Structure 1
């Protein structure tokens, strides 16, 4: 599946605003809602991501077609990374380990902001590193050397 990279930046911008709100309010409930957004994108795919649906319905028609598309796997992996940080942060806030909630939220915010402001997807880069260093799968027709 291919996705519009502008949608990923849009989602990262909304995520950044939500995470700033979490840091200001210290709200584990708001962070849990963001974790749900990450979970939907991670497990159901970017096609069902709430911020992506907003982009598709309200923003993309005003921008016109994209000049390029990108593979959905790296951004979907990035959503999973965001989910991990959001879950850890939610647990930190909910259990009264405020420093953990703040730290995990701040790291997720840094990654989201990099994508929103500069188009640099940290989770996507992590995906590429994981793929580079993961063992190669051989097809049935290949004979290992």
Structure 2
């Protein structure tokens, strides 16, 4: 099985600075959730990831704020392929929904573990520009699309 890093390719480009600020906001929301236990934070995050993982990404509240911050800080655009970030948003959506469900069903340990994993992914994106989705995409791809032959 080939496991080298490759990412989904999209015809669209996004500003890496916006993606990194999105990661920072996600991390901060996750910290607030761990501190407060307020499940509405996870509902908001799930909705935001849903928007970011579809064609509705321009309506993402976190994305809107991140784009405004990039503009206000006069950060130069660093355009990258949107495919990996869309895939990462879909992973974020799955994690957010799982955290929300485990919180509602009162499985706090599971919710905290899932929150910690998503928080780590978000922190790595925000602080270092490391897209964990790119690292796991080959395994997802190979498990869903086994080569013929």
Q: Across the two proteins, how many residue pairs are aligned to each other?
A: 135
In the other structure, the counterpart of 1:73 is 83
Q: State the distance in 2 between where 1:54 and 1:20 align.
A: 18
More deviation in 11-20 or 44-53?
Answer: 44-53
Deviation at 1:43, TM superposition (A): 2.1
TM-score, with structure 2 as normaliser: 0.80
Q: Which has the higher contact order (CA 8 A, sep 6+)?
A: 2
| 5+ long unaligned stretches in structure 1 | 137-145
Q: 1:114 aligns with which of 120, 124, 128?
A: 124
TM-score, with structure 1 as normaliser: 0.82
Bigger radius of gyration among the two: 1
Change (3 A) 1:94 1:69: same
Change (3 A) 1:45 1:78: farther
Change (3 A) 1:25 1:61: closer
Q: State the distance in 1 between where 2:108 and 2:130 align.
A: 29
Tell me if structure 2 keeps the 8 A contact 1:12–1:115.
Answer: yes
Structure with the higher helix share, 1 or 2: 1
In the other structure, the counterpart of 1:38 is 49
